[in-house]
Amino acid sequence: MRDRKNEGEEPTGGLSRRSFLGGASAGLVGISISPYLSAAGIGPQPTKDNGNAVVVKLSVNGEEHDILVEPRMSLLFVLRERIGLTGTKVGCERGECGACTVHIDDEARYACLTLAIEAQGRKIVTIEGLSKDGQLSAVQEAFVENDAFQCGYCTSGQIMAAEALLKKNPSPTVEEVREAMSGNLCRCGAYKHIVEAVMKGSKAVRGA
């Protein structure tokens, strides 16, 4: 007769039927969805030449990088995962939040919507390239002094957008700042302080 008192208990030194089935199911789920995660750019990406990869030369923060990339790879992925510049943040990955903003030939661009091969031969600047010899840029200092952040996740993109604006227009009005920064979202709602920081940064840029 079956001993119901010990039913469901794991045998000593082995696996129960329940734990075996649970582990097997988790493994099967991982195997089944991994191709879709890879296609979406999530998780480990292939680093070997699969026949489509090409070598691109990227100029990032004044340094040259020769990198083997697949044509589908975004500049955001290459900056973070291949070059190691993680100041450029992963947000929506569809050009809506601005967390991945970088400069390409002094223009603010979303790195998530820019293919790495598109940026070849152009001047790329990330948040890491703004400070010189450990000294923050005027805009970076203005963000610190005006508490223009809370969680800080969007801050690098906000600063890059502000820097691009002030290169073109060092004396913006408040409305011009709001319009230029409208493509960068802050879930914490620090917009008032962000605008104040950009206005203060503009004075520093002008030497006013």
41-93 pLDDT, tens digit each: 444 444 455 568 999 999 999 999 999 999 999 999 999 999 999 999 999 99
Which CATH number is 164's domain given? Answer: 1.10.150.120
| Residue 6 belongs to some domain of the structure | no
100 is a domain residue: yes
Q: Is residue 145 part of a domain?
A: yes
* Segment 137-159, tens digit of pLDDT: 999 999 999 999 999 999 999 99
pLDDT (tens digit per residue) in 155-178: 999 999 999 999 999 999 999 999
pTM beyond 0.85: the answer is no
Distance of CA 205 to the CA centre of its chain: 27
Mean per-residue pLDDT of the chain: 84
Specify if 165 maps to a domain: yes
Q: For residue 149, is it within any domain?
A: yes
Asked, for residue 82, whether it belongs to a domain, the answer is yes
Count of domains observed in the chain: 1
Residues in CB range of 82: below 8 A, 6 or more apart: 65, 67, 69
Please report whether residue 57 resides in a domain. no
- Domain around 128: 73-115+123-206
The answer to whether residue 97 sits within a structural domain is: yes
